[in-house]
Amino acid sequence: MGMTIAQKILADHAGKKEVSPGDIINAKVDLVLANDITAPIAIKEFEKLGVKDVFDKEKIALIPDHFTPQKDIKAAEQCKMLKDFAKRYAIKHYFEIGRVGIEHALLPEEGIVLPGDLVIGADSHTCTYGALGAFATGVGSTDAAVAIATGECWFKVPETIKFIYYGKLQRWVGGKDLILYTIGNIGVEGASYMVMEFSGEVIDNMPMSGRLTMCNMAIEAGAKTGIIIPDKVTENYVKNRTKRSYKFYNSDSDASYFDIKEYDCSKIPPLVACPHLPSNVKPANELTHIKIDQVVIGSCTNGRLEDLREAAMVLRGRKVNPEVRMIVIPATQKIYREALREGLLEIFIEAQAVVSPPTCGPCLGGHMGILAKGERAIATTNRNFVGRMGHPESEVYLSNPAVAAASAVLGRIGTPEELGL
């Protein structure tokens, strides 16, 4: 019996010829990631181990991105712990303000995560890197601490569900809509502790930005990770971003899957996930009665250059509704700079939106856009749980950048078609 791409990566990193779902393995990791919320816990646990050094100074990434620029004293102290630890152990991949970005956009952009890698991160959206053909998953801070010391982590080999997407995408439909549709179909526990392997002609023709968005939200279906078999799109993305070697894995034709699901994408319209679950999905054009107070475009899900371009296409020559505040957050400094060069930031500012430096910020109710009681936001972020962006009695709706931008202009949930686009 053949193996899936996920099983092959795990087997190789565990030094085994093959693995099967349910196997408990110990595997060597290529990268351990932590941020300004999770790293301080990991650092404290690391210090309890009594080891004298980290396992590899080039295979650890410390990214202060959740509460940065530091919003208060506590956030500043958290970030200082990362800085001091990185300096003490000469950690290569530590990024200070001005060089930082949202972790799951920054690491692929910098070529730090590559195809075939086994990556663990003390952040649930570490699964984003599956878009590159890596096995990447979130872990607790204690597991991260042990991995920082030893370079290894334990895994239970997961089952895999294969998702096949075919057909022609409708106008203004992209990776965000496909993953929302998928989560709406299988539910937030539909892939619990499984691999979501995304495939089909639509995925083959999807740019890396859309692939990253889809894998980013695999965790919202309970998945261990999302993954896409690497191809020419992957090669074009990574070949000029790194100096180290990487490996393309694929799934065998006779690999065994827990389930196989097929979706006709020509039938999928722009979608919105309503409160308070990513699975509570409805077509955007059925929600035009929902007034909003805030729009957020950014996050590790949709803060890439392609996302900003899409939002700018909708906002060009238009104004944000006077009853709405709009926040645009480029995911990295490079994205910010390129958006500036292309005139995207000017479009946002002319539309009376505000542009933030790279940060997770409002996505987790951190800062830069907290909701008050009774307020509603539509955001390109990945979660809309109760109190996720502020007050427990606020509401968050999730959408793609085009729908979010159109909603900013309309003052309610709406679509670009309503603006004649």
CATH of the domain at 240: 3.30.499.10
With respect to residue 70, please indicate whether it lies within any of the assigned structural domains: yes
- Are 136 and 237 within one domain? yes
Residue numbers in the chain where pLDDT is lower than 70: none
With respect to residue 20, please indicate whether it lies within any of the assigned structural domains: yes
What b-and-e string marks burial along 27-55, b requiring 16 or more CB atoms within 10 Å of the CB? bbbbbbbbbbbbbbbbbebbeeeeeeebb
Q: Do 323 and 411 form a contact (C-beta atoms < 8 A)? A: yes
Distance CA 234, CA 249 (A): 12
Nearest to 116 by CA among 204, 15, 201, 230: 230
- Are 389 and 256 within one domain? no
- Are 93 and 234 within one domain? yes
Nearest to 19 by CA among 142, 155, 215: 155
With respect to residue 232, please indicate whether it lies within any of the assigned structural domains: yes
- Are 218 and 303 within one domain? no
With respect to residue 267, please indicate whether it lies within any of the assigned structural domains: no
Q: Is the dihedral of CA 216, 181, 280, 324 positive or negative?
A: positive
The whole-number pLDDT of residue 379 equals 98
- Are 133 and 255 within one domain? yes
The whole-number pLDDT of residue 243 equals 82
Distance CA 135, CA 377 (A): 33
- Are 83 and 215 within one domain? yes
Q: Do 220 and 183 form a contact (C-beta atoms < 8 A)? A: yes
- Are 218 and 286 within one domain? no
With H, G, I as helix, E, B as strand and everything else as coil, classify residue 396.
strand
Last residue of a domain, one of 262, 285, 303: 262
- Are 313 and 173 within one domain? no
- Are 247 and 283 within one domain? no
Neighbours of 154 (CB within 10 A): 13
Last residue of a domain, one of 262, 280, 304: 262
Q: How many structural domains compose the chain?
A: 2
With respect to residue 171, please indicate whether it lies within any of the assigned structural domains: yes
- Are 15 and 140 within one domain? yes
- Are 187 and 290 within one domain? no
pTM for the structure as a whole: 0.95
The whole-number pLDDT of residue 1 equals 80
Domain that holds residue 9: 5-262
With respect to residue 52, please indicate whether it lies within any of the assigned structural domains: yes
Last residue of a domain, one of 262, 286, 304: 262
With respect to residue 285, please indicate whether it lies within any of the assigned structural domains: yes
With respect to residue 136, please indicate whether it lies within any of the assigned structural domains: yes
- Are 250 and 361 within one domain? no
Q: Do 227 and 6 form a contact (C-beta atoms < 8 A)? A: yes
